[in-house]
Structure 1
């Protein structure tokens, strides 16, 4: 297919965006670069999203923007992107969330870079704000410093991953996705787009913040409130990664695939640990049965367990593991130097491949990033992803709420 030279196609899925999507439409109208095709996918909204689009559709057309409106039953963002892909006409392609806000030079800056070098993908920076105080920046999303390791960082969830960061040559996008479909998943759309592209194409960087990422309490990425919801989301993301790796025919991915199988086994183990926590008050025979089931997944003769956080609830967990499981609990990891001592060590301690860390789910991203920053092994082949200690720990709210979307 021949794509229209200079035309930029932007795909925007939206579910129940009545209260905020106007901000995106207004930012699109204000772009200094006007040769735009917007494909807007109403993904089963039950509010006034369609009416808001209809109001701005006229204004966007008046500004020279071509619009395509698609309405479907709710299927998730990845499925919404698949609905839009057959309608893509532009030489350049973007996909983004409906609550993002583009700065006025966003598209022009990206197009100029893609035209001017051999990269197939360009990546900018973004500003993070809270919806309640949208005019006050609270952080930034920036992957420019790690572009050479972007596949690895995205894969292990060690950096921000949102569509508005990127623009890609459409011909290269469809060279990878020849069936005009990405892998569908309810946990997102960015990983299954970016990881295959990053195995083939180079990335140019723009050291400039070109959009605003709005943290909304009711957004999809923040909608997982309970332990089980958050746990299932992490497991679904890891299973999505398996599907992505299977779709990429590249030896480069073999080591990641092997590591991921280890991660998935440990996620199963995490579920057993959660059952253990609930089972501490049950008869010894039942608790032993639970422990024996998960002991199958580890080499208990070599493995050592460290529990992240020195607190009363974790002491109960440690006693249960030692009493019923005969496991070697080496101690606790805690950044509070007042707690550090004989069996409580600092996070800077260097672990080996036989160490297993049991990590509270609320701190997962924060802890993995900390290990990575300090040059410690963070391939997750020793790392539990999602153990949450319920009913016992007060978390600092700033630490609990990550500013970065998972996928």
Structure 2
């Protein structure tokens, strides 16, 4: 049996940490080490994980000063001894057979990375994205070029570091960027560039908990880190995957328009409008290449043209579409399948 190292960065999650750790300890695949990294948590997480370490010898507890999610993951990687590595966020939890399925398929397909489907988990219901695959579909295999395409469009392959089983030697010397939100956007393409075989499992085996107090639930200018990350990734794509640059530009544009409009709503957080001005200058300076990149997306192209005329005008197409959907004149986008929970699990 191959050892799997499970790295769990922990900060201010005492309400959720028991469910997370229990779901890892109860895995049907037992050859695991669980690396719990207390990132200077101000609540009782430190005491809780020390208690768990006395219950199971597979647990390693590390205490460090607060440095953020990326720093905690990087610190945890120093203690990894498994052939495989799995990242789990400390407010999420796993199906009991998740690691077993990941390892089994990694070996069967000789895959460098195996990804599972996941649920968006709320207090009394879960959401499952079945737009591309159903739960019963067989594993989906990707080579390097198709993987990078899927990563860029962020549909079947997400940028999330969690929910994937990595061969440890593929990620050991690629640290997460510290001090940023959306740290996975800065990291994932560097890892995927090394991958020859990538497998997607369609059974949802990971629960991605949606917290109202999550760092991404309340908008701040730190959310602009995603645009910086996408631009950094774009430089990488231009160098190594020139044929995919239009897809990269399209994602930068979408993130730029979304954040510009959020900054309009939160003007008090954009002192002097400097962040909006930076977004405006980027879009206008790259107008021709962005137009080429989105020529197949009618709504996004209209938004771009209107933004170029005046930035405030870009909000018109989304508002019009929303009204038309509410009036049932046009069909809304395909949504996620909702499953109501009848238990507390």
What's the TM-score once normalised by structure 2's chain length?
Answer: 0.69
Q: Structure 1 residues 301 and 141, CA, compared in 2 at 3 Å: closer, same or farther? A: closer
Comparing 105-114 and 256-265, the one that deviates more: 256-265
Q: Which one of 38, 56, 59 corresponds to residue 52 of structure 2?
A: 56
What is the aligned partner in structure 1 of residue 191 from structure 2? 197
Q: Using CA pairs below 8 Å that are at least 6 residues apart, which structure has the higher relative contact order?
A: 2
Gapped regions of structure 1 (runs ≥ 5): 279-289, 309-317, 341-345, 349-365, 374-397, 399-407
Q: Deviations over 1:17-37 (max 9, x none)?
A: 111100011111211111111
In 1, Cα distance between equivalents of 2:102 and 2:73: 21
In 1, Cα distance between equivalents of 2:257 and 2:87: 33
Q: Cα distance, 1:297 vs. partner?
A: 5.6
Alignment of 1:330-341 (within 5 A): 332-333=316-317, 334-335=320-321, 336-337=323-324
The CA RMSD over aligned residues, in Å, is 4.6
C-alpha contact 1:125 1:144 (8 A) present in aligned 2: no
Q: Which one of 264, 280, 298 corresponds to residue 284 of structure 2?
A: 298
What is the aligned partner in structure 1 of residue 230 from structure 2? 241
Q: Cα distance, 1:244 vs. partner?
A: 4.1
Q: Structure 1 residues 143 and 42, CA, compared in 2 at 3 Å: closer, same or farther? A: farther
Q: Cα distance, 1:47 vs. partner?
A: 0.3
Q: Name whichever structure is richer in helix by fraction.
A: 2
- Are 2:25 and 1:29 equivalent residues in the alignment? yes
1:90 is paired with a residue of what secondary structure?
coil
2:284 is paired with a residue of what secondary structure?
coil
Gapped regions of structure 2 (runs ≥ 5): 135-139, 268-275, 292-297, 301-305, 337-345
C-alpha contact 1:128 1:141 (8 A) present in aligned 2: no
Q: Structure 1 residues 22 and 299, CA, compared in 2 at 3 Å: closer, same or farther? A: closer
Q: Cα distance, 1:329 vs. partner?
A: 6.3
What's the TM-score once normalised by structure 1's chain length?
Answer: 0.60
Alignment of 1:1-400 (within 5 A): 6-61=2-57, 66-130=58-122, 132-133=123-124, 136-140=125-129, 148=142, 149-158=146-155, 160-174=158-172, 177=173, 181-201=175-195, 202-222=197-217, 224-225=218-219, 229=220, 232-233=222-223, 235-246=224-235, 250-252=239-241, 256=245, 260=249, 263=252, 267=256, 298=284, 332-333=316-317, 334-335=320-321, 336-337=323-324
C-alpha contact 1:44 1:72 (8 A) present in aligned 2: yes
2:194 is paired with a residue of what secondary structure?
coil
C-alpha contact 1:125 1:142 (8 A) present in aligned 2: no
In 1, Cα distance between equivalents of 2:39 and 2:64: 5
Count how many residue pairs are aligned between Structure 1 and Structure 2.
300
